[in-house]
A and B are shown apart, each in its own frame.
Chain A
Amino acid sequence: MATQTSEQKSAGLDKNNKYDRQLRLWGDHGQSSLETAKVCLVNATATGTEILKNLILPGIGSFTIVDSQKVVGEDVGNNFFLTVDSVGKSRAQVATELLSELNEDVSGDFLEENVDDLLEKNPAFFTSFTTVIATHLPERTLLNLSKVLWEKNVPLLVCRCYGVIGYLRVVVREHTIIESHPDNSHEDLRLDRPFQGLKEYCDSLDLESMNKKDHSHTPWLVLIYKYLQFWQQENGERLPNNYKEKNALKELIKQGVRKNAEGVPEEEENFDEAIKNVNSSLHKTSVPSEVKALFSDPACLDLNIESKNFWVLMRALKEFTENEGNGQLPVRGVIPDMTADSERYIQLQSVYREQAAADATAVAEHVHALLHSIGRDEPLHPDKNRKPGTITDDEVKTFCRNSAFLTVVRCRSLEEEYCPETANLEELSRHVVEEEEEGSTEGDETVLYIMLRAADRFFSEYNHYPGAYDNTMEADIPRLKSCMNKLLHDWGFSSTIKDDYVQEMCRFGASELHTVSAFMGGVAAQEVIKILTGQFVPINNTFIYNAQKQNSTTLKL
């Protein structure tokens, strides 16, 4: 957790309280990233305002709504941020006013203008934002907007709700994550290859000569270190690698439990813990394949003055691994809690922390050399007004501590997805085929995606969505089916999709149900927060939610 100056503490006490429950998730540094973000929403639909609500509450810097439409009765029926007396007024303005009430620390603005016109007149308007969210845009406008943002590397999120279907597409060229906060991960204990400090510490302890209390309060980490050595005397310098060998080691540890005068083993919780941890703690330390892949990424290999700090750090990490690290990442420097007396637990913790600090210093030296080599020198005395492009020691430490979990997300562009020649046919076809083979009547999310695309195609041909009006329902069903088949044909599929889906799509009639919007409003907002904070891993690249069955899937389109 980042430490605070006393100045920040007194000025920010209210914010600390207000945001307490979320600061525990993304920390003060995550919060300050949110607070400097400028978010643009295109179209204040129910889905759009629900997304913004979940960004304004946690405190993004500012938002701007672009919407040329006037509020109609139908909008007020599903949108919490419009009121009936606002019918006929600018939808952007009314939504901005009501959304602004949610958090006085967030500033809101609106632009009552058509997106197509804006894209033509002033495309730079959109690229001035940290992130753009688009809801319910027609295909052509969406592709134009996406192209403008893609060129300037501004993340775009596309969200829509259609009947019981929720759709979210993340379009980000490259998103790098240092703090991915994995739910479960191996500890980094290095028992297979103890570093010097760990060896010295463990060797300095002698189990034989310890009094009863010390014996039963020796951390299990030390016990495994010692009994592994015994085991290795018989088996050579390697790890027990199967069930039998691990059991033999466990048996050795068990034999080490002190016995009382009658020869009955004492209760030594630390020995129980050691036995329990043999399986999870004795694994081969290695560089995760995901991180290895990043070492050979062109962005890591070809650094230049424009390189992102992330890639400079990645390159420094690679050089550390190949040199001082002897093939390994820096030591994380974190150990789990375990039965032990305070003194030796803290000593052991310090052993790991010191190694982590030494490794981070070595990485920092690589960072400095690299920055020098690409012409971005570190100032001698880093201060608050540091030059852009330099990297602080704290950043290096955070990077090292998370080095096993570094993640880069690169999405395909919308253009690639929408062009039949570059569409991800494998992803699309696999699901269409599975669907047919199983003969299942259950809706598959990929089919729902294809149906959404078919509905868009329908819209571009007929200027309304299938089933939007009761009186064209009957006529719309075969039309939508034909749109869908054309789409499948363009992708080169000879298969088709059951009529049930076509009919259900027409039932929806492009209705936007509030609860589906609210669900997607939560999902999309969280993906935006991931992008803004650089923490946690966003989807790559399409999320489909089916409220009918309360399930979902992520597709790479």
Chain B
Amino acid sequence: MEVEWPGRWNHLKKILERNGPFAHPDFEPSSENLSFVKDVCKILVIGAGGLGCELLKDLAYMGFRDIHVIDMDTIDVSNLNRQFLFRAKDVGKAKAEVASAFINARVPGCKVTPHFAKIQDFDESFYRGFHIVVCGLDSIIARRWINGMLISLLQYENGELDQSSLIPMVDGGTEGFKGNARVILPGVSACVECTLGFYPPQVNFPLCTIAHTPRLPEHCIEFVRILLWPKEEPFGAGKPIDGDDPQHIKWILQKSQERANEYNISGVNYRLTQGVVKRIMPAVASTNAVISAACATEVFKLATSCYVPLNNYMNFNDTSGVYTYTFQAEKLDDCLVCSLKPQTLTFTETDKLQDIISHLQESPSYQMKSPGITTCVDGKNKTLYMQTVKSIEVKTRDNLKKTLKELGLTTGQEVYVADVTTPVSLTFRLQLGSSMDNS
């Protein structure tokens, strides 16, 4: 296959080899700009789904040729209405691999390297190898993790950030007809953790409503999913619900309908049942196209300096008319992850370890999932609580009910918190007042 042909780069060359009054102040028009994009710049795309497929195409046509893509998913039929690099014959195969093969076959000279894996499978040395990271994810935890990773790569000398350690992150997200694109310069501009409030925590129906006073079809479905399934184990002991297994959905549908009939509730059907069970977000090709394109434009600006990159957040919605809103999200002075400021946890001696855990989960600025806490006593590491490893959980469970005093924790003590939302442990300093101080 021919790799170069007359005219191939004409569109890009106009922007990269000519100066203009609106160009980035540092922009130097030259053929080297395109060479950098083509031959040097290494891009990591995270996610090969709705946004990822678009991103790979967009980046390839903006001249990028060394692209890696990570995705742990396989292709499902319901992806085909927008993930345009996949065909019916690809269902069941790894997204990263099929997407890469498609782009490599279609775009001469472009080399996309697939990684059918989780982002957590790679370490710092892998991520350090990229110039720019672009995310097309539907998971907030994964976003927070990669954000934490890129921030952990930053190097400071005498408090000054070493610019060569900075890897920009461009992030896109969509839901239905809404989406957003943002540029994060780790350590410099607002990071994912600075703006955790943009991702409201998932709201669940109260258990007592589900169990005793169902009013909506969703309540009936949640009843079956949460309470009836574990009790009846319809497909064998310990078998979890597989939202993609039609037999499972049909069973839940039938039981939900029975419950709905009992309470005269209407509206339980297959689509709703599957939607509730899998927590499906609606998705269309058009919004993914828009958001990915905006992200890829920003990658191109970052790589070439042809224009000043987005500073730093764009919201998009085309339900009624077409609407964009661009603004500067603010970097938090005391951001848990990017501020370099030591974090303090203020409790009283009589508070229990469980109170700290709950605080880390419920506080809007932490929103952790299953934090584990360790500390250092007399130079030795001591695990106070860890949920994620079963044997340690059993051993440390009793600590939850102990007061901080009983655990021997005092003011100034450092505790280290690990969680799925961060690739590195976070350090907190305890500030303990006596319970009197607080009353």
Q: Are A342 and B84 in contact (CB under 8 A)?
A: no
Residues of B within 8 A of A339 (CB): 209
Known contacts A54-B285, A513-B11, A18 near B77 by CB under 8 Å: yes
Query: Is A22 an interface residue when CB atoms closer than 8 A count as contact?
Result: yes
- Residues of chain A in range 60-119 having any CB-CB distance to chain B below 8 Å: 72-74, 76-78, 80, 83-85, 87, 101-104
Once bound together, how far apart are the Cα atoms of A81 and B161, in whole Å?
44
Known contacts A73-B8, A80-B106, A18 near B22 by CB under 8 Å: no
Q: Are A523 and B322 in contact (CB under 8 A)?
A: yes
User: Measuring CB to CB, which residues of chain A are less than 8 angstroms from any residue of chain B?
Assistant: 1, 3, 14, 16-25, 46, 50, 53-54, 57-59, 72-74, 76-78, 80, 83-85, 87, 101-104, 163-164, 168, 180-183, 217, 337-343, 345-346, 349, 443, 467, 473, 499-500, 503-504, 507-509, 511-519, 521-523, 525-527, 529, 536-540, 543, 545, 547-552, 554
Q: Are B14 and A511 in contact (CB under 8 A)?
A: yes
Query: Is B57 an interface residue when CB atoms closer than 8 A count as contact?
Result: yes
Once bound together, how far apart are the Cα atoms of A490 and B321, in whole Å?
30
Q: Please, which residue of chain B has its CB at the minimum distance from the CB of A73? A: B7
- The winner among B19, B78, B272, B326 for most chain A CB atoms within 10 A is B78
- The winner among B7, B77, B81, B176 for most chain A CB atoms within 10 A is B81
Q: Are A507 and B80 in contact (CB under 8 A)?
A: no
CB pairs A–B below 8 angstroms (11 shown): A21-B284, A77-B8, A87-B5, A180-B320, A182-B320, A183-B320, A503-B21, A511-B14, A518-B57, A518-B289, A536-B318
Once bound together, how far apart are the Cα atoms of A523 and B9, in whole Å?
25
Residues of B within 8 A of A523 (CB): 286, 290, 318, 322
Known contacts A18-B80, A25-B177, A346-B265, A522 near B20 by CB under 8 Å: no
Known contacts A513-B12, A518-B293, A523-B290, A181 near B213 by CB under 8 Å: no
Query: Is B234 an interface residue when CB atoms closer than 8 A count as contact?
Result: no
- Residues of chain B in range 278-310 having any CB-CB distance to chain A below 8 Å: 280-290, 292-294, 296-298, 300, 307, 310
Residues of A within 8 A of B322 (CB): 168, 523, 526-527, 539, 543, 552, 554
Q: Please, which residue of chain A has its CB at the minimum distance from the CB of B310? A: A550
Find B20's partner among A46, A58, A73, A503 (CB 8 Å cutoff). A503
Known contacts A73-B7, A342-B265, A23 near B271 by CB under 8 Å: yes
Q: Mark B168-210, 1 if CB is under 8 A from A, else 0.
A: 0000000011000100000000000000000000000000010
Known contacts A73-B8, A77-B9, A342-B215, A101 near B280 by CB under 8 Å: no
Inter-chain residue pair count (beta carbon < 8 A): 251
Residues of B within 8 A of A548 (CB): 22, 307
Once bound together, how far apart are the Cα atoms of A337 and B217, in whole Å?
11
Q: Are B290 and A519 in contact (CB under 8 A)?
A: yes
Residues of A within 8 A of B323 (CB): 552
B234 CB to nearest chain A CB (Å): 22
- Residues of chain B in range 318-348 having any CB-CB distance to chain A below 8 Å: 318-324, 326
A7 CB to nearest chain B CB (Å): 15
> What 9 new A-B contacts, CB under 8 Å, besides A22-B81, A25-B176?
A20-B78, A23-B271, A74-B10, A164-B15, A342-B213, A345-B215, A514-B61, A515-B296, A551-B324
Once bound together, how far apart are the Cα atoms of A32 and B296, in whole Å?
33
B229 CB to nearest chain A CB (Å): 21
A380 CB to nearest chain B CB (Å): 29
Once bound together, how far apart are the Cα atoms of A222 and B57, in whole Å?
56
Once bound together, how far apart are the Cα atoms of A180 and B290, in whole Å?
21
Q: Are A24 and B106 in contact (CB under 8 A)?
A: no
Q: Are B78 and A522 in contact (CB under 8 A)?
A: no
Known contacts A73-B6, A77-B9, A508-B15, A50 near B284 by CB under 8 Å: no
Q: Are B88 and A25 in contact (CB under 8 A)?
A: no
Once bound together, how far apart are the Cα atoms of A182 and B263, in whole Å?
30
Q: Please, which residue of chain A has its CB at the minimum distance from the CB of B176? A: A25
Known contacts A25-B177, A503-B21, A554-B321, A1 near B269 by CB under 8 Å: yes
Query: Is B396 an interface residue when CB atoms closer than 8 A count as contact?
Result: no
Residues of B within 8 A of A529 (CB): 284, 286
Residues of A within 8 A of B274 (CB): 20
Q: Are B284 and A58 in contact (CB under 8 A)?
A: yes
Find B54's partner among A21, A518, A552, A554 (CB 8 Å cutoff). A518
Residues of A within 8 A of B215 (CB): 337-338, 340, 342, 345-346, 349
Query: Is B82 an interface residue when CB atoms closer than 8 A count as contact?
Result: yes
Residues of B within 8 A of A340 (CB): 213, 215
Residues of A within 8 A of B297 (CB): 164, 513, 515-516, 519, 547, 550
Q: Please, which residue of chain B has its CB at the minimum distance from the CB of A547? A: B297
B176 CB to nearest chain A CB (Å): 6
Residues of A within 8 A of B310 (CB): 549-550
Once bound together, how far apart are the Cα atoms of A371 and B237, in whole Å?
62
Q: Are B20 and A504 in contact (CB under 8 A)?
A: yes
Q: Are A519 and B293 in contact (CB under 8 A)?
A: yes
A80 CB to nearest chain B CB (Å): 6
Q: Please, which residue of chain B has its CB at the minimum distance from the CB of A548? A: B307
Find A515's partner among B108, B293, B321, B326 (CB 8 Å cutoff). B293
Q: Are A522 and B21 in contact (CB under 8 A)?
A: no
